[in-house]
Amino acid sequence: MEINILIVDDHKIMREGLRNLLADKANIKVVGEAENGREALALTKKLKPDIIIMDVAMPGLNGMEATKMILNEYHEARIIALSMHSGKQFVTGMFRSGASGYLLKDCAFDELMDAIKAVHSKHTYLSREISDVLVREFVSNMDGTSTNTGEVLSTREKEVLQLISEGNSTKIIAEKLFISVKTVETHRQKIMQKLNIFTISELTKYAIRMGFTSLDN
């Protein structure tokens, strides 16, 4: 059975490298490439891939929110996170959003193939490093020491927060999200109230810390 794959990464060289590697594999077909989360959502609706290899930290719409939106509309897709980030905010964020696997970008190609096969068979795949992250998070939850304040924000508020932290003006955010300037201002006010953060610089620091955006992406 042929496995149709969509590659999502904001770096062209990464997309091209993956496409070339996967092209040599039997029963694997790369049906499309996307450079950001919004494009991934549109292409998923059009191409209906079996597996999406998803970068996590991308400008405009990160992999966590893109994963959530894609799976809300297309339940059959299976998503493998492929990221340079191993922080728990990225790992737990992707799995909370519905990802079925998580690998680091420095993994061997054979491991990516193992992940594709496992996820296509409806299993979950974790690299050893990512397993360690999730175990530590599980233990901290048992101890009652873990908090995830990012969950107080709605999906739309997270989108607005990411765009704010990336330096977009209110007008640009409104255009990107197809909403009014007044609505953006209302979201920003609610975000600040929920987080008890009232400056753009502190909001930016919070967004980076929670994995909503990454300046070194």
What pLDDT score was predicted for residue 216? 52
What pLDDT score was predicted for residue 73? 92
Beta bridge pairs of residue 26: none
Assign 3-class secondary structure to the chain.
CCEEEEEECCCHHHHHHHHHHHHCCCCEEEEEEECCHHHHHHHHHHHCCCEEEECCCCCCCCHHHHHHHHHHHCCCCEEEEEECCCCHHHHHHHHHHCCCEEEECCCCHHHHHHHHHHHHCCCCEECHHHHHHHHHHHHHHHCCCCCCHHHHCCHHHHHHHHHHHCCCCHHHHHHHHCCCHHHHHHHHHHHHHHHCCCCHHHHHHHHHHHCCCCCCC
What pLDDT score was predicted for residue 10? 95
Does 40 have pLDDT greater than 80?
yes
Q: 24-33, 150-159, 200-209 — which one is most confidently predicted on average?
A: 24-33
Q: Once rounded to an integer, what is the mean pLDDT over residues 140-150? A: 53
Q: Once rounded to an integer, what is the mean pLDDT over residues 155-173? A: 92
More confident residue, 115 or 205: 115
More confident residue, 149 or 74: 74
For the chain, domain boundaries: 3-141, 149-210
Does 48 have pLDDT greater than 90?
yes
The amino acid that residue 77 corresponds to is A
Does 202 have pLDDT greater than 70?
yes
Q: Who's near 21: CB < 8 A, 6+ residues apart?
A: 109
Q: Once rounded to an integer, what is the mean pLDDT over residues 145-154? A: 63
Q: Once rounded to an integer, what is the mean pLDDT over residues 68-83? A: 95
| Superfamily of chain region 3-141 | Response regulator (3.40.50.2300)
On whether the CB atoms of residues 37 and 60 are closer than 8 A, the answer is yes
Does 181 have pLDDT greater than 80?
yes
pTM recorded for the entire structure: 0.75
pLDDT, tens digit (0-9, with 9 covering 90-100), for 13-34: 999 999 999 998 999 999 999 9
Q: How confident is the model at residue 212 (pLDDT cuts 50, 70, 90)?
A: confident
Does 217 have pLDDT greater than 70?
no
Instruction: For domain 149-210, give the fold.
Output: Arc Repressor Mutant, subunit A (1.10.10)
* Average per-residue pLDDT for the chain: 89
Percent of the chain scoring above 90 in pLDDT: 64
